Structure 1
Amino acid sequence: MEQAIINNYTEAAALAKQEANKYKELANTYSLLRLGIFGLMIFSVYLTIVQDNFTIMAIAFVALLAGFAWLVSRQGEYERQRDYYLDLERINLNEINSLQSNTNLYSNGQQYSNEKHFYSSDLDIFGNASLFQLINRAATSTGNNKLAAWLNAPSDKPTVLLRQEAVKEIAIKNEWKKELQTLLLFSNDGDVNRLNSLFKYLHLPLNLSGEKWLGKYAKVAPYILVAVIVAALFFPIAKSLATLIGLVNMGIVFSKATYIKKADMIADKIGKMLGNYAGVFNKIETQEWGAAYTNTLAKKLKDDKTSEKIKELSELINKLNYHLNVIVGVILNVFLLWDIRQIIAIENWKRNNCENLEEAFDVIAEFEALISIAVPAINYPEWVYPVIADTEGYTVSAKNIAHPLIRSDKRVDNDYDLKDAYNIDIITGSNMAGKSTFLRTIGINAVLALSGAPVCASAMEVSVITIVSYMRIKDSLNESTSTFKAELDRLQMLLAAVEHEHRVFFLIDEMLRGTNSMDKYLGSKAVIEQLISKKGVGMVATHDLQIARLEDKYPDYVRNYYFDIQVQNGEMLFDYKIKYGECKTFNASLLLKQIGINVGEE
């Protein structure tokens, strides 16, 4: 099945490349035609000189300038289409890379790493080779933030169910998903301040002095100048008046040069960006949505006509940029006070439309997060949507559950069943037998489940729980913290969470390893008994068989599971399968023997 999915992406990438090449050739053709227009302009000058007839050049320049402008417009459109299909090719190739090597052109979320978080560090939620790296398809900083927030904390059942419905809909709209990613790819450059700069610009008034009378004059100025020019055809004295009006218009524009430059410096950076976002908003607005979640999000944009408004602002900013061509800029400002008109129009737009824009861009972030958690449904169709349980006790039950960050040809699945109960499961076993991986498997799939995503299992049912892990405990030279002190801090956090957080499900891997064996056993036993007294629920992986004896003391609360090994001809064989009961086979002496250390008997 995976190969079929890769083949689909490969075919789509090839088609996108083909389209990109087509538009590249068209853009090159129109570029040559522009050179032809330039050549004709030179030829018209030659004819004007030879024929001594200025009318030839006047007519030729008007016609050729119009043709040149049309060619520039068409070439620009073909270049946009070329770039779009090149980005679409990148999107498809990225999915192939993700499936084959777990690489991703989007952020791996390293900026969200936090070793003091309840579980994100232990469960590889962020950073290199993480869950975030596997599923993230958010290009904007707000989209990344949204997805990180969903993975950092469980959502309530109604929210999870709404997201599941939305993910199912997006999963069957994979072409639409890829097209939206393509439109947003320009934002995948790590510029976390892009949108903040935009919002700041939209809320910051230009405070153009004399704006009201300038706006009124700019409307009538072209009519006055044209009327005087027409009058000059009959009354030569009017030529001087026309020249004077033109100079006055340019003087007005120059007197506001500081304001124009201020608007230009900021607007020039965001004009193209706004045009890109207008396409994104339009893509969301024009799609038919059946899921309640996606329909509500899209309706916000439709009701506010967001894509139209953003496109309008983009066009206003692009019109302001006409003055970058000196000749065109002078003509427009002489006749129309062009720069004044545009900055006033931009300011009017800002006053009328900037209030709800943050909410509109948050809709894009929501869609990016939804697209990201839909990635498993598209790329791994064998994964399932978990059932969100409403049981009074804890429910974490799964069939054929496996770790999503281990390749499908290498991972081993297991079953686990905790249904409407309060239990602590003690998991014993040999080194490298699979205890830690199993704890992480349960944890990372629970994180996926409670974000609204499918899980790596054939079936799963889970309550809304808060995962708290105790696994990778490290000392800290910066904080002058020993390993044992770090363990105590983590234990204190865990015990406080069990008492105060909602439905904590803990994952403990080899408790108190930073002390001697006797203190380790006594301390671990005391912690587990305290967790039992607090009605704590979760798993404890340990090498200490004495901990397994707690099942005798608390038969209704403690359950024993184990991972074992088989030794054949001195070789260790791991099946990575969880079994009920206590582990009887350990492998430390065998592992030491493999590196040349023989462990003798006392």
Structure 2
Amino acid sequence: MNQNIITRYQTLATQAGQQADEFRKLANFYSLSRLGVFGLMIFAVTLTISFDNFYIAGIGIVLLLLVFAWLVARQGVYERERDYYLNLQKVTLNELADDNLYNNGQQFNNDKHFYTSDLDIFGPASLFQLINRAATATGNNKLAGWLKAPASRKVILQRQQATTEVDTEWKLQLQALLLFANTEAPTRLPNLFRFLQMPLNLPGEKALEKYAKIAPYLLAAGIVAAVFMPVLKVIPVLMGLIHLGIVFSKAAYIRKTDVVADKIGKVLNSYADVFRKIETYDWKAEYTAALAQKLKDDKTSEKIKELAELINKLNYHLNMIVGVVLNAFFLWDIKQITAIENWKRSNSKNIEEAFDVIAEFEALISIAVPTLNYTDWTVPVIAETEGYTLTATNIAHPLIRNGNRVANDYELNDALHIDIITGSNMAGKSTFLRTIGINAVLALAGAKVCASAMQVSVVTIVSYMRIKDNLNESTSTFKAELDRLQMLLAAVENEERVFFLIDEMLRGTNSVDKYLGSKAVIEQLIAKKGVGMVATHDLQIARLEDKYPAYVRNYYFDIQIINGEMLFDYKLKYGECKTFNASLLLKQIGIEFTED
């Protein structure tokens, strides 16, 4: 990340913090005002009891209640703005932090996947941790899916076009609106979807809905009559008690709605803002424009906003005194749950698909992170060649800090080859294999890659690198290697265009069997027209180039030994390695040996 980008993030974070302070002051003012009005309401009730005057109760309390509700609404607006700008500051500073505040994807790790474990796709210090900006569980799942399998060439090109259209400030604003979901239970949205698909079946719903509309007028008429004819004062009291009784009789149904509403109502406004953010952006790319149009056609942001308002109105009853007054005058809870049921019947059909659009955009802004943050990375060319293409200039590992990276060139251009890579311990063989693999995963997800140029065919990466035993499954290292080899050979035969990465085959057996087995596996891969790389310490494997000169190529990583010190340049060279360092490494820890 260059200094200009760092400075821009710092400026944006400062501006967001200043905005948050302004809205905090406004929210505090309205909070104090609300407390004052609530005190006046209590005072009005006291006067009513003291003077036995329904005029005070009927006019004063109702007016104060309306003022109180308005103050609550204004305070809520300013609190949401304050929280938004605090979140905006947080996600902006996150771009400059070493530790990403978003999920690192550990839950997606799978040792039996073709490559995710070997290539550090998920978990701490992983590719997912580097780029993930998805707060929702569905967004995390979507991004993980993009990194676990290559997309088609058409989809990759669409994503590439879309990522270049994502603006830094728009991306941060979307993240700020969604940050609440980063700590949200992953079951929250599924519970909402189930609630929206499940009818409440409220007995007498239609009649209750009609009566709730006229109830406040009837009670108001009773109050006016009591003012002019005190003998009738029992009528509005009786009507209020009847209204409370009706609401109480339906308490079980209200609770069914309330269980979900109390939890989701607080965030639906944010989701409505997210939908509006997507709908109103001027998208040009085919991929993003189609997603946004889908939301516009369904008026998704308006519908979610309407549901949020209904749920927030239902939540007014959480204040006991306010709830009693509202239900006595308006049958408030009945009015809100019937309105929510009407909303569900009219609008819940495409709601899951709408939230999946949010997940798509979260995955998109995640793969746009390299585009926005790393100007020295490049958009790879997705090749259409009959043979395999994977060429790169100055390709480096994206998880190694910029100052420590060593870049290499590599060329496999419309061909079928197996490249044997030899070299000393710690010379860079494994890192190079992972460099090729992790950049291919980025490229085939639609993201920029850590290189100055790259071309790659749509291939399926299969790796054989970190093989380990499994005590729970009573699996030895050698058995684990055999299982992985079996998976590799089956993939080459059955999957579309496999590109394999093998690091030191058959480590769990003796040197003779290791060589003979490795040679047999490579020859079988040649017979199956397999393509990929094999890193090994065994120089005898390099002799396969003599037997298959048109198919096998030798590369190596070298070291220089000067005055007993090992110097690594980590640069890939053509040919086979001649210098090894095991004896020097052993001597450094105090083990001397002589050759027989």
Under TM normalisation by the shorter chain, which class is it? over 0.9
Task: Find the aligned partners of 2:302 and 2:87 in 1 and give their Cα distance.
Answer: 24
Counterpart residue identity of residue 79, structure 1: E
Shift of 1:45: 9.2
1:437 deviates by: 0.4
TM-score, normalised relative to structure 1: 0.94
Q: Secondary structure at the match of 1:575?
A: strand
Q: Is the aligned partner of 1:107 residue 2:106?
A: no
Distance 1:266 1:43, change over 3 A: closer
**Alpha-carbon distance in structure 1 between the residues aligned to 2:37 and 2:590:** 82
Q: Provide, for residues 524-559 of structure 1, a one-character-per-residue CA deviation record: whole Å limited to 9, x for no partner.
A: 111100000000000000011111111111000000
Aligned residue runs from structure 1 range 51-200, under 5 A? 65-97=65-97, 101=98, 103-170=99-166, 173-189=167-183, 191-200=185-194
Deviation at 1:105, TM superposition (A): 0.4
Deviations along 1:332-391, whole A, 9 cap, x unmatched? 222322211111111111111111100000000000000000001111111111111110
Matches within 5 A, 1:153-552: 153-170=149-166, 173-189=167-183, 191-232=185-226, 238-552=232-546
Paired amino acid for 2:435: T
Partners of 2:546 and 2:169 in 1: how far apart?
A: 57
Structure 1, 76-85 or 289-298: larger mean CA deviation? 76-85
SS in 2 for 1:115: coil
* Residues 1:26 and 2:22 are matched in the alignment: no
Segment of structure 1 superposing worse, 136-145 or 195-204 = 195-204
Residue by residue over 1:119-178, the C-alpha shift from the partner in whole angstroms, topping out at 9 and shown as x without a partner, is 0000000001000000000000000000000000011100000000111111xx110100
Tell me: CA distance 1:182–1:425, structure 2 relative to 1, closer, same or farther (3 Å). Answer: same
Structure 1 residues 147 and 48: alpha-carbon distance in aligned structure 2, compared to 1, 3 A threshold: closer
Contact 2:469 2:475 in 1 (8 A): yes
Q: Flag the 1:53–1:240 CA change in 2: closer, same or farther, 3 A.
A: closer
Q: Distance in 1 between matches of 2:417 and 2:241?
A: 87
In 2, Cα distance between equivalents of 1:55 and 1:236: 10
For the residues of structure 2 that align with 1:482 and 1:327, how far apart are their CA atoms?
A: 68
- 2:54/2:223 contact within 8 Å kept: no
Structure 1 pair 41–496 and aligned structure 2 pair: CA distance change class (3 A): closer
Distance in 2 between residues matched to 1:29 and 1:239, nearest whole Å: 39
Q: Does 2:4 correspond to 1:4?
A: yes
Q: Which moved more, 1:123-132 or 1:38-47?
A: 38-47
Amino acid at match of 2:538: D
Q: Counterparts of 2:465 and 2:252 in 1: how far apart (Å)?
A: 60
Residues 269 and 305 of structure 2 are in contact (CA less than 8 Å); yes or no, is this contact kept in structure 1?
yes
SS of alignment partner, residue 571 of structure 2: coil
State which drifts further: 34-43 or 582-591.
34-43
How much does 1:487 deviate? 0.6
Separation in structure 2 between the aligned mates of residue 226 and residue 31 of structure 1, nearest angstrom: 30
1:594 counterpart (582, 588, 591): 588
Q: 1:43 to 1:537 in 2, by over 3 A?
A: closer
- Greater displacement, 34-43 / 189-198: 34-43
Shift of 1:20: 1.3
1:265 positional shift: 2.1
SS in 1 for 2:18: helix
| Structure 2 CA distance for partners of 1:358 and 1:65, relative to 1, 3 Å | closer
Structure 1 SS opposite 2:119: coil
**Partner SS for 1:205:** coil
Deviation at 1:81, TM superposition (A): 1.5
CA offset digits 1:34-61 (Å, max 9, x no partner): 4555676788899999999997898765
Distance of 1:269 and 1:342 partners within structure 2? 16
When residues 255 and 551 of structure 1 are mapped into structure 2, their CA distance, relative to the original with a 3 A threshold, is same
Shift in CA distance, 323/130, structure 1 to aligned 2, threshold 3 Å: same
Q: Distance in 2 between matches of 1:528 and 1:115?
A: 23
One-letter identity of the residue aligned with 2:16: A
Q: 1:563 aligns with which of 554, 557, 560?
A: 557
The structural deviation recorded for 1:274 is 1.1
C-alpha change, 1:156 and 1:199, in structure 2 (3 Å) is same
What secondary structure is seen at the aligned counterpart in 2 of 1:198?
helix
Q: Give the SS at the match of 1:450.
A: helix
Equivalent residues of 2:54, 2:227 under 8 A apart: no
SS at match of 1:383: coil
Do structure 1's residue 573 and structure 2's residue 560 form an aligned pair?
A: no
How many correspondences in the alignment?
596
- Three-state SS of the structure 1 residue aligned to 2:461 is strand
Identity among equivalent positions (%) equals: 73
TM-score normalised by structure 2 residue count: 0.95
Unaligned runs of 5+ in 2: none
Residue 248 of structure 1 and its aligned partner are, at CA, apart by 2.6
| RMSD of equivalent CA atoms | 2.3
For the structure 1 residues 384 and 579, does the alpha-carbon distance in structure 2 shift closer, same or farther, using more than 3 Å as the test?
Answer: same
CA contact (8 A) 2:503 2:535 kept: yes
Q: Distance in 2 between matches of 1:290 and 1:167?
A: 11
Q: Give the AA of the match of 1:335.
A: F
Aligned-residue offset at 1:66: 4.5
In structure 2, C-alpha distance between the alignment counterparts of 1:405 and 1:384, rounded to whole Å? 16
Distance 1:347 1:64, change over 3 A: closer
- Distance in structure 2 (CA, Å) of the matches to 1:544 and 1:267: 65
CA distance in structure 2 between the aligned counterparts of 1:202 and 1:104, rounded to whole angstroms: 34
Amino acid at match of 1:571: E
Q: Is the 8 A contact 2:55 2:227 kept in 1?
A: no
| CA distance in 1 between partners of 2:389 and 2:448 (Å) | 17
- CA shift, 1:592, in A, is 0.6
Q: Is the 8 A contact 2:505 2:514 kept in 1?
A: yes
